Amino acid sequence: MKVGIIMGSKSDWPTMEHAALMLEKFGIEYETKVVSAHRTPQLLADYASSASDRGIKVIIAGAGGAAHLPGMAAAFTSLPVLGVPVKSKALNGIDSLLSICQMPKGVAVGTLAIGEPGAANAGLLAAQILGCQNPEIFAKIEAFRKEQTDTILANPNPAE
């Protein structure tokens, strides 16, 4: 079971690598590729329409600005697509967020938060989707969450 992580530009990688790092925590295989909705539209069509046949189960797509990548990827595949709004210089990622989340009814993209937290959570959500069918991944997610909770409960004093 594999996750496809795509992004509109190499410049998105410092954000999108947090999705990859999260998948690594759970031992989930992934591939990464620059695929631009505007600069390489045919590559996007080919990538998304062949993803399911290539064993991809979830696509994580990050883009900034006029961020059409997640929505267009979702147009070419029935796999779940998780969109990560990359923080843009001009509008701090509000443009990316609105471009990704305002999908018209009938083609769904699950939109995460702007930037690094969104990328990390896209990796986590992809793992949770795969975990529905895979008890080993599910157990790792449960352990990850328990450790997170225990860490906070063990150190409740913010001044320490």
Binding site for ligand RP5 (CB under 6 A): 7-9, 11-12, 36, 63-65, 86
Least gap, CB of 90 to ligand RP5 (angstroms)? 10
Residues 3 and 32 sit within 8 Å (Cβ to Cβ): no
Least gap, CB of 68 to ligand RP5 (angstroms)? 8
Q: Which is nearer to ligand RP5, 8 or 71 (CB)?
A: 8
Q: Which is nearer to ligand RP5, 11 or 50 (CB)?
A: 11
Q: Which is nearer to ligand RP5, 86 or 137 (CB)?
A: 86
Residues 97, 95, 14, 149, CA torsion sign: negative
Longest Cα–Cα distance in the chain? 54
Least gap, CB of 1 to ligand RP5 (angstroms)? 26
- CA angle 68-4-40, nearest 5°? 40
C-alpha–C-alpha distance, residues 99 and 157, integer Å: 40
Check the annotation: does 95 bind a ligand: no
Q: Which is nearer to ligand RP5, 28 or 63 (CB)?
A: 63
Nearest residue to ligand RP5, using CB?
Answer: 8
User: From residue 92, how far is each of 21, 75, 129, 132 by CA, in Å?
Assistant: 23, 26, 29, 34
Least gap, CB of 11 to ligand RP5 (angstroms)? 3
Binding-site residues for substrate, please? Answer: 9, 12, 39
Binding-site residues, please? Answer: 9, 12, 39
